[in-house]
Each structure stands twice: as structure tokens, then as C-alpha cells.
Structure 1
Amino acid sequence: MSFAPEDLSRDAFLRGRMWLYQPKSGYRSGLDPVLLAAAAPVLPGQSVLDLGCGVGAAALCLLARVPGARAVGLEIQPAYHELALRNAAENGVDFRPVLGDVADGARALQGENFDHVIANPPYYRAGAHTRASDAGRQTALGEALPLAEWIATAARRLKPRGFFHMIQRADRLPDMLAGCAGRLGALELLPLAARPGRAPELVILRARKDGRAPFRLHAPLVLHSDDRSLGNGKNYSPAIAAVQADAAPLPWPEA
């Protein structure tokens, strides 16, 4: 079922470099897909697959940052896929949303391979959170497919030496590492801490197909400054503010 016009909002991302139609209630894109898009070292002319693309937030943020790249999105929910198509046209970039399922190895993309795959899978294991009343939000947040299957599909769709990036909750790290075993290598982990001194709640995983470099655990990247007088959204650290406002790449630690 499609969303009614009155049930949608049109929201600016990256200081108006990208606009997104998304449901007023249900799953709404926030900072996480913006950070995921900023983490991938995509170059002009390269291809990107966004697994579980929703309405296209991560792919469209990435294309706003890297003119000349092209992206394909895979989305299982028809209403969200329809919005992704609308958002692709709205932003005038090379983004092709495809209706399909990660669970079948992205069969809808049979024969296609990509320089980069990005993914923002549901954060919560089945039964590990309060079920959302909105079906779209529940699909976006509640796991129906193990993370290992997301990673297996990503590995299958990557070109040799291609990059994979996933943003996930820190407590899902064992599942992420297990899913990469035998499929992807050169693993790097960037923890994301809300404030200085806090334990990271989210992580971004970077891996490469055929990668052989040793595992690297980086120091946490802090999202917010410690100025409590400013509300969330106004107290981002300089690096995150640059990602949010200026479409800057995420400052990934050097080797």
C-alpha cells in the first residue's frame, strides 16, 4: 500500500543538498544513514549497493557527496521502495531502487556486482525489543534475517577488493564478526560514542572482499560535544557537524 500525501514529510538533509520524502510516522531516517554514507570511500565513477535502502537516505546522501557515482538500492517493502523511486527522481541522481529481498541473496540483482556495498540492517534481534505498532517501522528495526545473511549477500555482490560498510549496535559486534568469517577480510571497526567518556552504542564496520590486513579497532569517534547547554542536533562535534552540514566524508582513522 502506498503512503497518502498527507502522511509524508519532505525533509532536508546535508543542509539542503538532498531532500527526502518519508513517512511522518513509521521508520524515519536520522543520523545513522548519513554517517554510513559518509564512511564509504566511494570515488566518482564507482558503483554502490545499499542493502535495505528504505526510502533511499544513505544512497542519496552518498551521491550528494560523490557526484559521478551511481547507486542501486534493494528494498523489501513496496511502499518504501515507491518512496525511494520518488526520492531518486526528486534529487536527480543516478540511483536505482529495486524491489527485492536480502534473504534470497538479492536475486533481483542477479549478475550485478558493485565496488561498494553499504547496509543499515535492523538493530534488534527478534524478540529483543518492544514491537512497533507501525509495520514499516517494525520491519526496519526488528531483525527477521540474521546479520550473517546480510553479510553473505554483501560479499556475493561485491567486486574483488570491494568495500563493505555496516552500521549497527555495538552489542551486535559478535554477530557481525562471525558473519564476516570466511567471506570478508581486512576488518576495521569504528565505535561511535554519543559523548566524551561514554561507552559506544553504535559501530561502523569496514571490510573488504579478499582483504588480508589484520583486524583494527579504532578509538571511538565522539558524536556530540560535552556542552550540555545545547540540545541534541546543535552540539555535534566538528567532524560530525561537517558530515551533517557540508556532506564531508567521515574522518576514518588512517592506517
Structure 2
Amino acid sequence: MIAQTDRFLGGRLSVFQPVSGYRAGADPVFLAAAVSARPGQSILDLGCGAGVAMLCLLSRVEGLSVTGVENDAASVGLARANLDANGFDARVLEADAFFPTPELASASFDHVMTNPPFFDRRNGSEAWDPHREAGRGETAPLALWLDAALRRVKPGGYITVVHRADRLADCLAPLQGRAGDVVVQPLAARAARPARLVIVQAKKGARGALRLNAPLVLHDGAVHEADGESYSLAAQAILREGAALPLKN
């Protein structure tokens, strides 16, 4: 796979990503920002790709034990290279998230984060590039991703997922009876526009009510008026400075 170098967190992270096919953007950065991990805790990134979410989380919180799982061999190689290049220690397993190896099946984690493929191909066409399709088109139902996350997280631990807002019902359904204290954080491109993405976080075994946060607005202004970035201060803090995105006050 031919790779190029992209910069994240204001240039603090150098990340090898494929020249063609799926490349991570802002989604895994917001995902990592929403994980309320503390030093000494264990983290699983389910479907870690090239490792962007892991890198962002490791750059913000020291002393974590992080594991990434990815079934694409080329992405596994990129994730390992990215960890080495940025000076972080984590393990990346080439494995199927839904049929885990004995090593993974016997493990449990304080936090599980995941950025599953966004598009249900029963309702759309495949991308022309097979590598991009692998990252964007579902080969397994979203419910299986959430089930795998719930199986790997400890009782009282948290799962955090970023997905399209129009798939919110699909994100919530697998949590019924298994996780609670659910927080939904919408991400809206601009004020007064519908959110296109949501971050959903839930605590395994909890029974608390769902909380819907006000949208995080990513760009200033009602429309894009000029070349260059227009990120809001809140978005800049996360995307450029690696700040956390607290989902609860």
C-alpha cells in the first residue's frame, strides 16, 4: 500500500495513511476526545484502521494500556508504524472484531471506542475504490459492532462510538438492557444546521436515563464564505490542541 503523511492535532502527530482509499479525518479525533480515560486504564479501539483515534487519545492521556483491533493487514501495518513514528507504545492485533482470538476474547477493558463504517449498503451503492469501501461501507451490521464493544468492556466501563446522526436509532437499539447512562453528543457543521454526526457513550450495566447534549458546532458563520479554516474555538481546541470533549458536566 502506498502511503502519504497527514498531520493531526496541529502537527503534533504525523500519520501514515493510504494515498487512495479511505483516510481518517476529523471523526476519530472527536471520538478520542470524548473518551474519558484516566491514567492506568485499559482501552480497546475496535476497528482501529491506521490508528488515528489511538494516537489522539495517547497524546492526551498518559499511562494508558491501549489495544487496537483491525482485520485489514495493510491498516494494521500502518497503525503499528504510526505508533512507532510518534513514540507511543500500544499493541495492534490483526483480528476479526466479531470472532476474536482467544487472547482478545479473554480480555476486558475500561473503555471501548469504535468508529464503524458509516454506510448501510442495503440502502446505497459501494464506493469505486475497494479500500475506501472497506472503511466506509458496512460488511457487518452496526448492531454487531455494538455487541462486540459491549462484550469487551468491563462491567461499569464505557463504550464510545461515533456515527452518522441518521443511524442514531441503530446505535441505541443494541444498548437496551445492557448499558445505560447514555449520552448523545451531536456534531453540527454550523449553527442552526442539523447534526450529521453523533457521538454515543454508554456505561455497561447502568440504568440511568438518556441525555441529549446541545450540538457541538464545528464552524463559525452560517455559511462558508472564504478559503481557509473556519473552525469554532471549541472545535479548534479538540482538532488542533488535542483537548478533551467532556460529555457530562
Is the shorter-chain TM-score for this pair beyond 0.5, marking a shared fold? yes
Contact 1:105 1:153 in 2 (8 A): no
Paired with 2:240 and 2:184, the residues of 1 have a C-alpha distance of 24
Gaps of 5+ in 2: none
**C-alpha deviations, 1:9-54, integer Å up to 9, x for none?**
1111112222110111101010000000001101111111001100
Contact 1:63 1:70 in 2 (8 A): no
Question: Residue 30 of structure 2 aligns with which residue?
Answer: 35
Deviation, 1:107, is: 5.2
One-letter amino acid of the counterpart of residue 224, structure 2? R
- Identify which of 226, 245, 249 aligns with 1:250: 245
Question: Residue 134 of structure 2 aligns with which residue?
Answer: 139
Contact 2:32 2:57 in 1 (8 A): yes
Corresponding residue SS for 1:144 = coil
Is residue 2:180 matched to residue 1:185?
Answer: yes
Q: Following superposition, which runs of at least 4 residues in structure 1 exceed 6 angstroms of deviation?
A: none
Write out aligned runs for 1:158-237 (5 A): 158-226=153-221, 228-231=224-227, 234-237=229-232
Deviation, 1:69, is: 1.3
Question: Residue 111 of structure 1 aligns with which residue?
Answer: 106
Write out aligned runs for 1:44-193 (5 A): 44-105=39-100, 109-193=104-188
TM-score, structure 1 as length reference: 0.93
Contact 2:36 2:246 in 1 (8 A): no
One-letter amino acid of the counterpart of residue 158, structure 1? V
Deviation, 1:108, is: 5.2
Give the percent of matched residue pairs that are identical in Structure 1 and Structure 2. 44
One-letter amino acid of the counterpart of residue 164, structure 1? I
Paired with 2:56 and 2:67, the residues of 1 have a C-alpha distance of 13
Corresponding residue SS for 1:139 = helix
Contact 1:75 1:101 in 2 (8 A): yes
- Identify which of 7, 16, 22 aligns with 1:12: 7
Paired with 2:102 and 2:218, the residues of 1 have a C-alpha distance of 37
User: Higher mean Cα deviation, 113-122 or 8-17?
Assistant: 8-17
Paired with 1:228 and 1:209, the residues of 2 have a C-alpha distance of 40
Contact 2:188 2:195 in 1 (8 A): yes
**C-alpha deviations, 1:87-110, integer Å up to 9, x for none?**
111112122111111222565512
Contact 1:74 1:106 in 2 (8 A): no
Contact 1:170 1:201 in 2 (8 A): yes
- In structure 2, do the counterparts of structure 1 residues 251 and 186 end up closer, same or farther at CA, with 3 Å as the change threshold? closer
Deviation, 1:158, is: 0.7
Gaps of 5+ in 1: none
Paired with 2:69 and 2:6, the residues of 1 have a C-alpha distance of 22
One-letter amino acid of the counterpart of residue 108, structure 2? N
Alignment coverage as a number of residue pairs: 248
